[in-house]
Structure 1
């Protein structure tokens, strides 16, 4: 589906900050920045996942839809997302992890992309060891996250890891809006393990 707005400047002309969307950040001295640029009501569950993975010691950036309906209008593709606060944070980030959701409703699954080939393998192994279904997708996949202009690849190392989590998987993470399942915590722990055990502060 084609985006309504080509970039953040255009979006901000028609959508109201703190009414239609909001930006939340946490900046720390850590080298890891966790993103949910389609958070809130755009790709539900991604904000909560990003915050949980980052915890208090790592940085995060959230762009969250707040509209009562039609939050899909706020979706700007990862290769065109140029909100200034995020661009500034990316300049300080050594490692970038971007959390997304995709529409698969029949299968609990995660598509692993981005240009950081080594860390993709670590995340894949950690998720599979925790009994989650996952695959590393090739560059020809629509959700591969391998475009050089994708925000996940705009940190200092110019390569990151992108997780596309299916709707069915995200739905299994929540008992209610504010109550998480054991699966949520196991998923978070697996992703954290993949980064922390392999040298990311």
Structure 2
């Protein structure tokens, strides 16, 4: 589906901050930055996953849809997402993890992309060990996250890890809006362990 807006400046002319969308951040001295640029009501559940992975010690950036309907209008593709705050945070980040959601409603699954080949394998191994369905997608996959302009690849290392979590998997994370299942906590712990393996704070 084609994006309504090509870049953030265009979006901000037609959508109002704190009414239609909001930006939430946590900046720490950690080298890890966790992103959910399609958070809130755009790709539901991604904000919660990002915050839980980051905890208190790591940085995070959330761009969240708040509209009562048509939050898909707020979706700007990762390779064109140029909101100034996230670009500033990316300059300081050594490692970048970007959390997304895709529409698959029949299968609990995660697509692993980005340009950090070693860390993608670690994430895959951790998810499989924890009992989750996952795959590392190749470069020609639509959701591969390998474009050099993708925000996940704009940290100091110019490579990161992108997770595309299926709708069915995300739905399995919540009992209610504010209550998480054991699967949510196992998933978050698995991702955290993959990053800790390489001595990331």
In structure 2, how many angstroms separate the alpha carbons of the residues matched to 1:18 and 1:92? 26
Aligned length: 201
Structure 1: distance between partners of 2:170 and 2:159: 25
Q: Distance in 1 between matches of 2:109 and 2:39?
A: 19
Unaligned runs of 5+ in 1: none
Aligned to 2:31: 31
1:84 aligns with 2:84: yes
What residue is the counterpart of 2:7 in the other structure? 7
Structure 2: how far apart are the matches of 1:186 and 1:39?
Answer: 21
2:66 maps to 1:66 = yes
Deviation at 1:138?
0.2
Q: Distance in 1 between matches of 2:107 and 2:198?
A: 29
**TM-score, normalising length from structure 1?**
1.00
Superposition TM-score, scaled by structure 2 size: 1.00
Structure 2: give runs of 5+ residues left out of the alignment: none
Write the deviation string for residues 128-180 of structure 1: whole angstroms up to 9, x where unpaired.
Answer: 00000000000000000000000000000000000000000000000000000
Match in the other structure for 2:182: 182
Q: Does 1:124 align with 2:87?
A: no
**Equivalent-residue separation in structure 2 for 1:119 and 1:187 (angstroms):** 16
Task: Report SS of the residue matched to 1:60.
Answer: strand
What is the RMSD computed on CA atoms of the aligned residues? 0.3
CA deviations 1:87-142 (Å, max 9, x no partner) are 00000000000000000000000000000000000000000000000000000000
Give runs of ≥4 in structure 1 deviating > 2 Å: none
Is 1:200 paired with 2:200? yes
In 2: Cα distance, 1:200 partner to 1:149 partner: 24
Equivalents in 2 of 1:168, 1:124: separation in Å? Answer: 18
